Amino acid sequence: MNLLKDTIKEIILSEKSKSEKLQSICDFLEAQISYYDWVGFYFRNGNKEELKLAEYTGEPTEHTIIPFGKGICGQVAVSNENFVVQDVSEQDNYISCGWKVKSEIVIPIFVGGENIGQIDIDSHTANPFTNQDEELLEFVCSKVATLF
């Protein structure tokens, strides 16, 4: 876990652009954690009550804009709380990104106390996420927040 966090710190402190850093984080997490099959960032779309897809790794998604309150990501934009879904089939308010997706974890990113976006992880494995995943992704989000 500490090695993962150290690499995230290195990416954040690198000379890359913000976009390149976010893409590197997506690529790194997807490559290092076997059950992270799609890793992406969504950010608030200006002053609109919606999220806009930014950098991601994994299969393309048509969900590039997500209204607040819709799906797991949209719910996190409203609740400002982590949302771990071990089995997406049990969620009524779920937006499917693909038939392979079995579970999802979404962690908000706060800057100055404001929810500006989130990291979204989809897994093709049911029930894979642990407290360690939440802790790692909260760390990632705290570091990403320093870019804004």
Q: Which residue has the higher pLDDT, 144 or 62?
A: 144
Percent of the chain with pLDDT over 90: 91
| pLDDT, averaged across the chain | 96
Prediction pTM value: 0.96
pLDDT digits (tens, 9 = 90+) for 17-32: 999 999 999 999 999 9
- Check if CATH label 3.40.50.150 holds for domain 2-145: no
Q: Given a cut of 80, is residue 96 above it in pLDDT?
A: no
Structure tokens at 86: 């071990």
Give every CB contact of residue 6 below 8 A, 6+ residues apart in sequence: none
The residue assigned the tokens 């996420």 is: 129
Mean local confidence (pLDDT), 101-120: 97
Q: Which residue has the higher pLDDT, 1 or 145?
A: 145
